[in-house]
A = this chain, B = another copy of it.
Amino acid sequence: MLPAQPNQSLIDGLEVLLGAVDAAEPVGVRELARRLGLETTRTQRLLGTLAHLGLLHRTDNGRYGPGTGLHVLAAAATAANGLLAKALPELDRLQRATKMTVALGSLWRDRVVYLAVFAKDRDPLTAVGASRSYPIQRSSIGVLLLGWQEPGYAAAHGIAPALETQGASARRRGWSLIDQPTEQTRSLAVPIGDPPRLAIGLSGSFSDARIADLRDQATAVAARLASQDIP
């Protein structure tokens, strides 16, 4: 729901911000402008402004990567709604109970971003911020959340219509399942809240007989998180 007069500079500035943050390495002005299809000078000014604000960090060789101000912003957000403080212990328990890899993720464009990932044999304190984003088509979380996006979302972000259909199907069912035959793993996801902007995913090797139990356990966690007014 855009306001009648949106602020296009803000929109573009935040697009530049995410483009720089999402890059695997600190990125140069011209390279980022090419990737985003923006004019170079404009990109440079937006990057410079963001760096001045501390949201990006300018390296000695003139490239831009995430800055401390982003963490500050995130900390303020997380403190305001208590999302992680509530979710992390729950997800850790779910991982221990199911022995699956447990993830909390959200959809951004055509990718899934992981807020936290709990895995067997991995320190739970490394769950936050250790996983890079992932193409949507390989993610039960992504496919599921796609089901709630407004019409045109898929087309606008280069997502195949077949995935959109899968998303709609998952929405009707209320959960999603993705098989990865080459890796002999599968993953299922359940939504948090309504409309859901976050989802819990479980992945590993599990039989068809176990699906309902895993789904129900994850759904119970999702319900507890949703009932705490998490956006």
Contacts and interface: CB of A to CB of B under 8 A. Distances in A.
Contacts of A67: 197, 231
A222 B22 CA distance: 26
Interface in A95-150: 106, 108, 113-115, 123-133
Interface in A1-57: 1-7, 9-11, 13-14, 17-18, 21-24, 44-46, 48-55, 57
Contacts of A46: 7, 10
A80 interface: yes
Among A13, A48, A75, the most chain B Cβ lie within 10 Å of the Cβ of A75
Contact of A71 (B14, B77, B79): B77
Contact of A85 (B17, B70, B129, B133): B129
Contacts of A7: 9, 13, 45-46, 49
A124 to B, nearest CB: 6
Contacts of A174: none
Given A10-B50, A49-B11, A51-B1, A123 B79 contact: no
Given A75-B114, A126-B89, A198-B68, A80 B22 contact: yes
Contacts of A13: 7, 9-10, 13-14
Give the interface residue-count category, chain A.
35 or more
Given A75-B115, A125-B125, A231-B66, A197 B21 contact: no
A125 B91 CA distance: 10
A83 interface: yes
A1 B52 CA distance: 6
Interface of A: 1-7, 9-11, 13-14, 17-18, 21-24, 44-46, 48-55, 57-58, 65-85, 88-89, 92, 106, 108, 113-115, 123-133, 197-198, 231
Q: List the 4 shortest-distance A-B pairs measured between CB atoms, nearest first.
A: A78-B129, A74-B74, A3-B48, A9-B9
27 contacts: A1-B58, A3-B44, A3-B45, A3-B49, A7-B45, A10-B10, A10-B13, A10-B50, A11-B53, A13-B13, A21-B73, A23-B80, A65-B80, A68-B197, A72-B113, A73-B74, A75-B129, A79-B113, A79-B129, A79-B133, A82-B129, A82-B130, A83-B129, A85-B127, A88-B128, A89-B123, A125-B125
